[in-house]
């Protein structure tokens, strides 16, 4: 998603102009636009015109309209978001208050105006516009002296760093120069990984090369991480996967991603964190039910006691037609974060999101047991969607 303009005042009122670039961005737009918001975009309108003789004809004209959203339909197959609402700005072709449906598609600019931009919406804009926030996979494609550090999202590959260093050749009796050059190269690559890859976000980091370069680099990286006590790297060791590539250039990444071992490792990385959290919730619910609750009322009670370790919530809750309902869930998320809880927002288009919706769309794993909540007879309370 490209951010063209962001103008939000201290009271949360403002406008954001965006260009979605792929189907995932259309999904973000669907989650950003709420009933009552004003959307401005280019569209085609059928217009009736009457000639001097009294005969009428209809023409299709391109115009820019601003409508107030009332209803939305997300076509997942065509990757189009259709928003129906009334025209709220003067227009030569469309009367004020007349209904129109705007289509939000890839590479078509739109502006979104809200009376209040809550923290969930602002966070979604930041995530959609910053590939480092949601790239599930990073890759270092390398050979001696050349390396490319890449981020791979579901729709694109972005080269974040290119390293090109000359390394002295191995010569009889002069191997030390070669080794020193190689060490300098590995250090540069390692620093590029630490600078450009968010190890807390990515699910996997591929290290790919011809021959043994990848193995030498990995050995250097772990030895250095151990010596310098780099906890970030050491805690992420299980995310690194060494694979063969024909060269250190970006085009080799394609063959790497087609490797069956890599495919198996990366299957459904996008929602892996959410799936793991949901599995943990079910396990806790079975083994220690006083530490796992669902339904707004019980989750809120746990939050008031600052007991939530992980909050699981469906993005559907933030698309409620009821503004007060939306605000209620946004406030809960903000509060959990304030108490250093982890928040997982599930896509209702994913199987894990569908499972969560069967549990009212909101659940929590607690830091410690709270059997007093369990004593309430209605775990799925009426307050939930």
Q: Is 67 exposed, middle or buried (0-12, 13-18, 19+ CB in 10 A)?
A: buried
Residue numbers in the chain where pLDDT is lower than 70: 52, 131-135, 153-156, 173-175, 263-273, 350, 375-385
Q: 137-266 belongs to which homologous superfamily?
A: eRF1 domain 2 (3.30.420.60)
Q: Does pTM surpass 0.75? A: no
Number of helices (H), then strands (E), belonging to the chain: the values are 13, 16
pLDDT recorded at residue 287: 96
Q: Measured between alpha carbons, how far is 320 from 385 in angstroms, rounded to an integer?
A: 8
pLDDT value at residue 382: 47
> In 3D, which of 151, 110, 139 has the Cα closest to residue 28?
110
pLDDT for residue 376: 60
What residues does each domain of the chain span? 2-132, 137-266, 272-374
Q: Which CATH number fits domain 2-132: 2.30.30.870, 1.20.1260.10, 1.10.1060.10, 1.10.10.1100?
A: 2.30.30.870
How high is the pLDDT of residue 375? 65
pLDDT value for 362: 97
Domains 2-132 and 137-266 share a fold: no
Ordered DSSP codes for 193-217 = HHHH--TTT-SEEEEEESTTHHHHH
pLDDT at res. 73: 93
272-374: CATH number = 3.30.1330.30
Do residues 139 and 153 touch, judged by C-beta distance below 8 A? no
Supply the pLDDT for residue 273: 67
Cα separation, 123 vs 231, in Å, equals 27
The token pair that represents 244 in the structure block: 């063969």
């Amino acid at each position: 998603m490209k951010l063209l303009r962001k103008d939000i005042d201290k009271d949360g009122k403002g406008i954001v102009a965006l260009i979605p670039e792929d189907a995932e961005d259309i999904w973000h737009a669907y989650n950003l636009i709420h009933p009552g918001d004003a959307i401005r975009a280019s569209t085609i309108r059928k217009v009736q015109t009457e000639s001097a003789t009294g005969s009428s004809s209809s023409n299709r004209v391109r115009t820019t309209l601003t409508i107030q959203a009332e209803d939305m339909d997300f076509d997942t197959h065509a990757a189009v978001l259709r928003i129906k609402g009334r025209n709220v700005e003067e227009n030569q072709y469309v009367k004020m208050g007349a209904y129109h449906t705007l289509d939000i598609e890839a590479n078509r600019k739109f502006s979104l105006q809200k009376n209040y931009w809550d923290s969930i919406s602002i966070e979604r804009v930041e995530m959609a516009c910053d590939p480092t926030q949601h790239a599930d996979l990073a890759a270092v494609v390398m050979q001696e002296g050349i390396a490319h550090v890449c981020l791979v999202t579901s729709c694109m590959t972005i080269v974040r760093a290119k390293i090109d260093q000359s390394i002295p050749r191995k010569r009889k009796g002069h191997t030390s120069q070669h080794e020193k050059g190689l060490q300098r190269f590995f250090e540069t690559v390692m620093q590029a990984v630490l600078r450009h890859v968010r190890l807390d976000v990515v699910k996997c980091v591929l290290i790919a090369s011809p021959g043994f370069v990848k193995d030498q680099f990995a050995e250097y990286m772990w030895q250095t991480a151990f010596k310098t006590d780099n906890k970030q790297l050491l805690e992420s060791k299980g995310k690194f996967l060494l694979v063969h590539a024909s060269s250190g250039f970006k085009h080799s990444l394609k063959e790497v991603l087609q490797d069956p071992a890599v495919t198996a490792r990366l299957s459904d990385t996008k929602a892996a964190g959410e799936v793991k959290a949901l599995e943990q919730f079910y396990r806790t619910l079975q083994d220690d039910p006083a530490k796992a609750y669902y339904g707004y009322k019980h989750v809120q009670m746990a939050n008031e006691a600052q007991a939530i370790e992980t909050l699981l919530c469906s993005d559907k809750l933030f698309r409620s037609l009821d503004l007060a309902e939306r605000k209620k869930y946004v406030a809960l998320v903000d509060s959990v974060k304030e108490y250093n809880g982890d928040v997982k927002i599930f896509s209702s288009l994913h199987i894990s999101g569908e499972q969560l919706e069967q549990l009212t769309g909101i659940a929590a794993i607690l830091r410690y047991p709270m059997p007093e909540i369990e004593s309430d007879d209605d775990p799925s309370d009426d307050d939930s969607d």
